[in-house]
Structure 1
């Protein structure tokens, strides 16, 4: 059976994608110079939060995910980031390819809240691979790629920040139920407020929760 090894050599934000997208560069090696006709892969990407440190401000931002810092010994579990398919064309020995990962800035998603809480440093990721390999020098074989194939990678936080800034410069967004949105729209109309920003700012002022810029 052909043995495959995977290594992530870099990551970049796709500046030309329609939505927030990260592109991971993968190096794939097949044992014994076996000709590989194609690889049909499934890639699961997990955040491993226990593999880095956090300053006090970052820890405050992660309270919603992991609780108070005193509890992190039992709550700092891996966070699912993405699961994407990947078709790799034929090669012999070794090849490099791009793994395209569409992202979201939805703050209801745990991975997004994690990224948002970080200011600098690196994000410890684990890429897990499985799938099917089509191989053979003289003939055609179908082989499994088992789930124990993995690659650790530390993604710079600035890459995530650059990706978000490309699509939401200086902004963010939240998802609300339709009934809540209708109520906010009615409030905005009654007050003749010019924008959603002005609407939220007035509500924060009324609640005494406005933060100075």
Structure 2
């Protein structure tokens, strides 16, 4: 039986992707080098281990929507799923390195986006849970297949600045909001009726009107 270990060594922003993409560098180590690995079909669940760091007052305020009032974080601050990723590792004997691509979203309806946006500095604690299939040659040279042990995982602390620089690269001075179709049609109608150039102008006018409205 092949025994593999995994470590996340680094992370970088993919510059030439159509959508935000982080690439994690994995080191895969074969602890049974007598069995030659032909290929690994690797799947990974990436989780955010929110309790594994401290948060300053500003970050606590920015994360209220996600975890509730800070006074309750002893019950509400929990780890949660960020994303799934997969990659194929080539043939190796003792060790190899592969790039694991992790698609990212700037949709603020997604918990991970709210979390990363809420961090002003420091690092986001991540946990990588591995699964998948290992193809290898046994002592007689016959091709075999085995499953990666469900206990295989690796930790990594992602710099918050890396996430922020990625979103600045893909969406400079911008953010994404998803609206229901009915709400979009109302906003679009308001924009047309007012002769406004952009949706941002429409939203700004509505916010200004709310701010200047006299209290009843």
TM-score normalized by the length of structure 2: 0.94
Contact 2:86 2:101 (8 Å CA) reproduced: no
Question: Which residue number in structure 2 is paired with residue 63 of structure 1?
Answer: 64
Moved over 3 A (4+): none
Question: Which residue number in structure 2 is paired with residue 15 of structure 1?
Answer: 15
Question: Which residue number in structure 2 is paired with residue 196 of structure 1?
Answer: 199
CA deviations 1:118-140 (Å, max 9, x no partner) are: 11100000000011100115111
Aligned residues: 209
Q: Distance in 1 between matches of 2:203 and 2:21?
A: 29
Deviation at 1:191, TM superposition (A): 0.8
- 1:146-185 residue pairs with structure 2 within 5 A? 146-185=149-188
Q: Distance in 2 between matches of 1:198 and 1:32?
A: 62
Asked if 1:142 is matched to 2:145, the reply is yes
Q: SS where residue 98 of structure 1 aligns?
A: strand
Contact 2:125 2:157 (8 Å CA) reproduced: yes
Q: SS where residue 16 of structure 1 aligns?
A: coil
- 1:111-122 residue pairs with structure 2 within 5 A? 111-122=112-123
TM-score normalized by the length of structure 1: 0.96
Deviation at 1:103, TM superposition (A): 0.8
Q: SS where residue 209 of structure 2 aligns?
A: helix
Q: SS where residue 114 of structure 2 aligns?
A: helix
Deviation at 1:180, TM superposition (A): 0.7
